[in-house]
């Protein structure tokens, strides 16, 4: 959720280094951080109104950058206040925010510490950042309203966030026509469950579902009575089992250890897509992430290389195989840009230019999803056609 801007590069977390990671006040520093991240996001998006439903304040110990604040308090006034995130102003106690349509104060961010109060207030102020200076108009702009019409179950706030990112990067990656944008939205919409889930689900609770999706002879270790050496690969497949499994039959039963466990993805994603054997843990570490659900160590390595070769990123290099992997799921900006690098690297715009047909959606879905036909093909087709219709209104 946190969005980093040039004016707010500091991090925030519960507790302070060198001290017990405890919670003070009402014991809810996570709630404090959650509210600050919402404010930071809205400020960076130049939002002048944010309606809060059942807001909850709190007090907790947090570390902002290198500054430890023992008691940082979030306090709301009124029921379900509508805040103007750009109205922030410093006070002797902290930072105040007024209502969207008046000067009435509806939110305080207060530093209750007595020691170094000014320094601590300044740290929070810097973390929240400033509004973004808009200096680019996309060739083919998309609005949050359009996205909400395409994905009606997705909250408007999320649609607004994604629209801003699409408009920020669409020209760079030449996703700048109704056809190209419709295909892009149709694919990422299905991959992310309506722009919401930036990481693939790895918890399969139903053994029958596991068997239906992953029940193949090469994944013999899934089944009771069959054992594979999980530390080895047989070319691009897991090692064969003892005894040998010849075919999938109705009496085969999935082992308990694979139910709602990373072990399922470690095994079924092993020995391919650049991943090592099941024991390496590569499968669950490099499962689908970002808007396009990049999958496999090889893809993460490739996107890291493409990102770092772009002169635009010379001061913002990434190691998506290592330290920066979580940014693809936790930072919407990085998630969108990384996904568009994949789109461009695979020349998908050329496929999109051929039209919104079953054949083209299938071709593009196969590139994005890695299977042919792609999973949820009908949904991809429906969302792509819907997007194309709405974008052409």
Which residues have CB under 8 Å from 152's CB, separation 6+? none
Q: What angle do CA 305, 306, 309 make, to 5 degrees?
A: 85
Residues 6+ apart with CB under 8 A from 199: 287, 288, 289, 293, 329
Domain identity same for 304 and 181: yes
Model pLDDT, residue 2: 36
Instruction: Give the residue with greater pLDDT, 80 vs 270.
Output: 270
Torsional sign, CA 273, 276, 277, 280: negative
The verdict on pTM exceeding 0.85 is: no
303 within some domain:
yes
Q: Which residue has the tokens 């070769």?
A: 309
Q: 72: Cβ–Cβ under 8 A, 6 or more apart, which residues?
A: 29, 32, 59, 60, 61, 62, 109, 110, 111, 112, 120, 124
Ramachandran assignment for 193, one of left (phi > 0), alpha (psi -120 to 50 degrees), beta (any other): left
Q: Total domain count for the chain?
A: 3
Other CB atoms within a 10 A radius of the CB of residue 378 amount to 11
Q: What is the pLDDT of residue 53?
A: 65
Mean pLDDT value of segment 61-87: 85
Q: Which domain holds residue 85?
A: 12-128
pLDDT tens readout for residues 185-196: 999 999 999 999
Instruction: Quick: pLDDT tens for 222-251.
Output: 999 999 999 999 999 999 999 999 999 999
Asked which of 247, 282, 317 is the last residue of a domain, the reply is 282
Strands 241-242 and 227-228: antiparallel
pLDDT for 7 equals: 37
CB 269 within 8 A of CB 293: no
pLDDT in tens, 28-64: 788 888 888 888 888 877 676 776 666 678 888 888 8
Q: Indicate whether 234 belongs to any domain.
A: yes
Note whether residue 3 is domain-resident: no
Same domain, 275 and 320: no
**255 and 155 fall within a common domain:** no
Residue 27: band (very low, low, confident or very high) from pLDDT cuts 50, 70, 90: low
Please report whether residue 319 resides in a domain.
Answer: yes
> Would you call the peptide bond into 373 cis, given omega within 30 degrees of 0 as the criterion?
yes
Q: What is the pLDDT of residue 273?
A: 95
Residues 84 and 123 in one domain: yes
Report the candidate in 127, 116, 150, 99 with the shortest Cα–Cα distance to residue 35: 127
pLDDT (mean) for 254-266: 96
On the question of pLDDT at 181 being above 90, the answer is yes
Instruction: Tell whether 34 is covered by a domain.
Output: yes
Distance CA 243, CA 217 (A): 12
Residues 300, 340, single domain; the answer is yes
Q: Are 339 and 292 in contact (CB under 8 A)?
A: yes
Q: Tell whether 300 and 362 lie within a shared domain.
A: yes
- Domain co-membership, 339 together with 278: no
The answer on pLDDT for 102 being more than 60 is yes
Torsion angle of C-alpha atoms 124, 338, 265, 235, degrees rounded to 10: -140
Q: What is the mean pLDDT of the chain?
A: 88
pLDDT of residue 1: 35
pLDDT the model gives residue 25: 42
pLDDT tens, position by position, 352-376: 999 999 999 999 999 999 888 988 9
Ranges 86-95, 96-105, 257-266: which has the least confidence: 96-105
Is position 1 within any domain? no
Across the range 317-341, mean pLDDT stands at 94
The residue ranking higher by pLDDT, 26 or 101, is 101
Residues 72/111, Cβ–Cβ less than 8 Å: yes
H-helix segments, 129-277: 144-150, 156-169, 178-191, 207-214, 262-268
Strands (E), the chain: 12-14, 50-51, 58-64, 67-76, 82-83, 89-90, 94-98, 105-111, 227-228, 233-234, 237-238, 241-242
- If asked whether residues 388 and 263 sit together in one domain, one would say no
Question: Does 120 lie in the same domain as 16?
Answer: yes
Confidence of residue 10 (pLDDT cuts 50, 70, 90): low
6: in domain:
no
What's the N-to-C CA distance of the chain in angstroms?
31
- End of a domain among 128, 153, 183? 128
Domain edge (last residue) among 282, 298, 316? 282
- Six-digit token pair at 55? 């807001």
The verdict on 303 and 367 lying in the same domain is: yes
Mean pLDDT of 64-90: 85
pLDDT at 33: 86
The DSSP annotation for 291-350 comes to TTTB-SHHHHHHHHHHHHHSGGGTTS---TTTTTTTHHHH-HHHHHHHHHHHHHHTTHHH
User: Which CATH number fits the domain that encloses residue 328?
Assistant: 1.10.530
Residue 104 has pLDDT above 90, yes or no: no
Q: What is the pLDDT of residues 270-310, one digit of tens each?
A: 999 999 999 999 999 999 999 999 999 999 999 999 999 99
Residues 260 and 301 in one domain: no
Q: Supply the pLDDT for residue 18.
A: 55
In a domain, residue 7? The reply is no
Q: What is the pLDDT of residue 132?
A: 57
Please give the average per-residue pLDDT across 116-130, as a whole number.
90
99 and 179 share a domain?
no
Q: Is 59 helix (H, G, I), strand (E, B) or coil?
A: strand
């Amino acid at each position: 959720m946190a969005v980093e801007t040039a004016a707010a590069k500091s991090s925030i977390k519960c507790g302070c280094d060198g001290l017990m990671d405890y919670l003070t006040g009402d014991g809810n520093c996570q709630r404090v951080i959650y509210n600050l991240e919402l404010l930071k996001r809205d400020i960076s998006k130049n939002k002048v109104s944010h309606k809060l439903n059942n807001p909850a304040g709190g007090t907790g110990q947090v570390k902002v950058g290198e500054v430890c604040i023992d008691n940082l308090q979030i306090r709301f006034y009124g029921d379900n206040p509508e805040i103007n995130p750009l109205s922030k102003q410093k006070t002797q106690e902290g930072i105040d925010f007024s209502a969207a349509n008046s000067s009435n104060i509806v939110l305080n961010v207060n530093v209750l510490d007595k020691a170094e109060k000014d320094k601590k207030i300044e740290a929070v102020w810097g973390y929240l950042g400033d509004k973004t200076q808009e200096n680019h108009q996309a060739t083919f702009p998309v609005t949050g309203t359009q996205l909400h019409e395409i994905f009606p179950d997705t909250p408007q706030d999320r649609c607004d966030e994604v629209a801003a990112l699409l408009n920020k990067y669409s020209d760079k990656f030449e996703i700048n026509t109704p056809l190209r944008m419709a295909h892009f939205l149709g694919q990422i919409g299905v991959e992310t469950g309506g722009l919401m889930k930036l990481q693939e689900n790895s918890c399969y609770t139903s053994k029958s579902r596991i068997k239906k999706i992953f029940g193949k002879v090469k994944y013999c270790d899934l089944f009771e009575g069959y054992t594979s050496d999980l530390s080895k690969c047989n070319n691009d497949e897991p090692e064969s089992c003892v005894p040998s499994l010849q075919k999938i039959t109705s009496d085969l039963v999935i082992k308990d250890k694979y139910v709602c466990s990373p072990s399922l993805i470690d095994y079924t994603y092993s020995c391919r897509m650049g991943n090592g054997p099941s024991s390496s843990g590569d499968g669950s570490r490099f499962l689908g992430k970002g808007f396009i659900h990049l999958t496999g160590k090889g893809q993460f390595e490739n996107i890291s290389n493409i990102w770092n070769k772009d002169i635009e990123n010379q001061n913002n290099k990434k190691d998506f195989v290592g330290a920066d992997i979580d940014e693809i799921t936790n930072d919407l900006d990085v998630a969108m840009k990384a996904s568009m690098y994949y789109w461009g690297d695979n020349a998908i715009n050329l496929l999109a230019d051929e039209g919104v047909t079953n054949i083209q959606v299938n071709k593009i879905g196969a590139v994005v999803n890695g299977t042919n036909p792609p999973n949820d093909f009908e949904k991809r087709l429906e969302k792509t056609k819907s997007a194309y219709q709405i974008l052409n209104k």
